[in-house]
Structure 1
Amino acid sequence: MKNLTDSEWVPLLVPDMPSPQAMLPWLERIQEAKHYSNFGPLVRELEADFSIRFGLPVEQVTTVANATQGLELVLQALDLPAGAHVLVPSFTFVASVTAVLRAGFIPVLADVDPHSWILTPEIARTACEYMRIDAVLTVATFGTPHDMQAWGNFEKITGLPVIVDAAAAFGSQWLNGAQGTLVFSMHATKSLPAGEGGLVVSSRIGLARKVRQLSNFGINLDPKLGLAVGTLAYAGTNAKMSEYHAAIALEMLTHWELHASERRYLYAELRHKLNAASGQKIVWQYQGCDHSTIAPTLMCLRLPDEGARDRLEQVCQQARIMTRRWYLPLLENMPILQRRCIVLDTPCAQALSRTLLGLPFFVGMSSCQRQRVLEAMEISMSRPSVPVKSEKKCGDGPVNS
């Protein structure tokens, strides 16, 4: 166990960004064009690449400065009624709910599925039976993709628009011929990092174009719309992607499949070995997809109980291994949100909040760093458990395969 005394911390995340040398040709192109923002040539090149990948006309994709602003602008572009109720999972990053609030709407916090940890069409339908819902903003939690055919059926039956916050799901979340709107992040920690940036992909005709207009202050630039060019069409904001961020994204796309395969290999190896180190006691998120298409960026798992989670945290702290309780506290437990949200019953989200933990995961993770994490898991699982009081059940978790 000598590795546990290593002086350097094992980091939780390490961004996988291009080298300065790799960026030089892109910087030279920017300098030659003298176009640095306002939908420059590299932004348009990036959007053309995305349109091919998603099989949609380029008018149905648009870049934005970041995913949070992408969510806000999509909500604004949907022309929802004042005070609209937007269904959001309680188990998600704060940006999902702040986007709803900043768009002027009321978040309705719902539960998640006990296996996939996502807000499903079934959960949304149940919520609609109890109260008025005007739109759904679900989340591809930790990159887990949604069944867009199922959400398309939900939209047809209910008439409600559905937005997927796919911030962590580039490479795994696709429309697959279905209707829908996806918002991706290109933050430095995501599978397609640009330092910062976002992407909106929508099958809704005109939605991406309106988001693009809103990202440029709401100014009309299309002479065909019957409004003078330069006239303000909507009250928008400045959420345009810069040429520099587009350059990073384009460079990363040239190596994306290779980097994705490295992440998949590392994730599969760690998952297998963590299962063994825990005595097959940990539970993993059910992702319901072909793992050959994803590029995982996080290593999140559920421990058998709250005591086991606390013990693993303690062992990792002693061993100088960073961990994180992702998405905690739950949105409904944040004082600033409690008076601004409607909260539904969330037993599964509550159960996740007591047992989930994130462990180190990043490209370039050394064998020594991996071994330290595995040893910490083995040590924590060998310590006696302490009984905790029972809580409301949300259903059995998935198998720990």
Structure 2
Amino acid sequence: MLRPSTPIRLLDLAAEHAALQPALDAAVREVLAEAAFIQGPAVGQFAAELGAYLGGAHVVPCANGTDALTLALLSLDLPAGAEVIVPAFTYVATLEAAALLGLRPVLADVRPDTFNLDPVAVAAALTPRTGAIIAVHLFGQCADLEALGALAAAHGVALIEDNAQALGATFQSASGVTAHAGTVGAVGTTSFFPSKNLGALGDGGALLTRDPARAALLQQLANHGQSRKYHHQRIGLNSRLDTLQAALLRVKLRQLPANTAARQAAAARYDGALDDISGLKIPVRDARSSHVFHQYTVQVEGPGRRDALREHLHQCGVPTSVYYPVPAHQQPAYAYLGYRTGQFPVAERLCETVLSLPMHPLLTVAQAAYVGEAMGYFFAGWE
């Protein structure tokens, strides 16, 4: 049985943070000295720095990525029961935010190549009750913002970008305009969950927009709906990014461009090792979008083969994960929506075939080569 010369981790936060330890320690000491743990100076500083990184977007920090989705929908002031189109292949938070607000998630299938929301399926799902479309930029590259934006504009509905997995990616329209993921629709959301490309050392999230009026509204909604202390114009949430997490994120934001380049280099090495394996599909890139590789997710063809490969890799010392094993319409919590097995065939097939390999900025050339070698042995034996 193959074994790696050095341990391979799905992600390696301890090693990433060790390289930043002096700067992280200094950030903690500064927050402790200021003792402004809620809405301290670092929160506004981080928002401004992230906004500059995203080409001048307004950034409204909040407590986590799910709150960001909830606040984005709250800012639209949709009537109870309004429909929100979401992908059938996504993390449950996309549906959860709509359901908790009394809105109705409406599922649409995804593309079999990029895993992102299929505009053709969205067009079929639109009704007079549709209030918003949530495009999830899955695994690190943008959904078809041009087609989805056109549909949203034509039907007078809002486009929300769930950008938790693609912070730093860009999308180029047919006219040649390039924009950062999360800044194209009415509002974008992101998460700073520790495993994200820009991860906190706890929880956190943010909303992104180019509209200053919407940014002001989002800021109000995230702070109990108040315009100033003890004056509440709206029903809002208590959803604030801790000062300590903002200070730590400022340190990590400075490393994000280099870390993104390292992820892209690791993905290219995987491509070279895996591209010629029959029965395996490497990630497809949309030529209009950059890819920041939150995950490197392959598709394994053949009944039962994905799970067999996963067990083989485990025996070889290669950790993997499946994002996601159950499509949204088969989750018991959302049975009330009335969908049946077979209605979203692409999402159902992906749940049976996708496999995410180790991906982080510190993945070495030798480790990527070893993963490729271990996978090659499996497919050679399968044949």
- Does TM, normalized by the shorter one, top 0.5? yes
Amino acid at match of 2:219: R
Determine if contact 1:92/1:327 at 8 Å carries over to the other structure.
Answer: yes
CA apart distance, 1:121: 3.1
* Residue number in structure 2 paired with 1:158: 155
2:121 to 120, 123, 126: 123
Distance (Å, rounded) in 1 between the aligned partners of 2:194 and 2:141: 19
Match of 1:197 in 2: 204
- Hey, what does 1:398 align to over in structure 2? none
3-state SS of the aligned residue for 1:104? coil
Contact (CA 8 Å) 1:304, 1:355: kept in 2 or not? yes
User: Contact conserved, 1:107 with 1:341, CA < 8 A, in 2?
Assistant: no
How many pairs align?
Answer: 369
Q: CA RMSD in A?
A: 2.5
| Contact map agreement 1:17 1:193 (CA 8 A) in 2 | no
Cα offset for 1:182? 1.3
Residue pair 2:264, 2:291 contacting (<8 A) in 1 also: yes
Stretches of structure 2 lacking an aligned partner (at least 5 in a row): 172-177
Note closer, same or farther for the CA distance 1:43–1:325 as it changes in structure 2 (3 Å cut).
same
Higher strand share: 2
Larger-Rg structure: 1
User: Is the aligned partner of 1:140 residue 2:137?
Assistant: yes
Superposed CA deviations along residues 307-338 of structure 1, whole A, max 9, x for unmatched, are: 33132123123223222221121111111221
Separation (CA, whole Å) in 2 of partners of 1:374 and 1:49: 38
Query: Which residue of structure 1 aligns with residue 354 of structure 2?
Result: 356
| C-alpha contact (below 8 Å) 1:90/1:111 kept by paired residues | yes
Q: 1:298 and 1:179, CA in 2 relative to 1: closer, same or farther beyond 3 A?
A: closer
Query: Is it true that 1:23 corresponds to 2:21 in the alignment?
Result: no
Shift of 1:166: 0.8
Letter in 2 for 1:136: I
Map of 1:249-260 to 2, 5 A cutoff? Answer: 249-260=249-260
The percent identity for this pair of structures is 26
What displacement does 1:66 show?
1.2
Amino acid at match of 2:206: L
SS of 1:108's partner is: strand
Q: Secondary structure at the match of 1:211?
A: helix
CA distance in 2, matches of 1:187, 1:318: 29
Shift of 1:72: 0.7
CA deviation map 1:208-267 (0-9, x unaligned): 22222122122222xxxxxxx522222222210011111111101222222221111111
Q: Distance in 2 between matches of 1:194 and 1:35?
A: 18
1:44 aligns with 2:44: yes
Measure the CA separation in 2 of the matches of 1:128 and 1:294. 28
Residues 81 and 73 of structure 1, relative CA distance in 2, 3 Å threshold:
same
Q: 1:289 to 1:48 in 2, by over 3 A?
A: farther
Q: CA deviation at 1:268?
A: 0.7
Aligned to 1:399: none
Code of the residue aligned with 2:72 in structure 1: it is V
**Residue in structure 1 matched with residue 328 of structure 2 by the alignment:** 331
SS at match of 1:201: strand
| CA spacing shift, 1:137–1:360, aligned 2, 3 Å | same
- The aligned residue for residue 272 of structure 1 is 272
When normalised by structure 1's length, the TM-score is 0.84
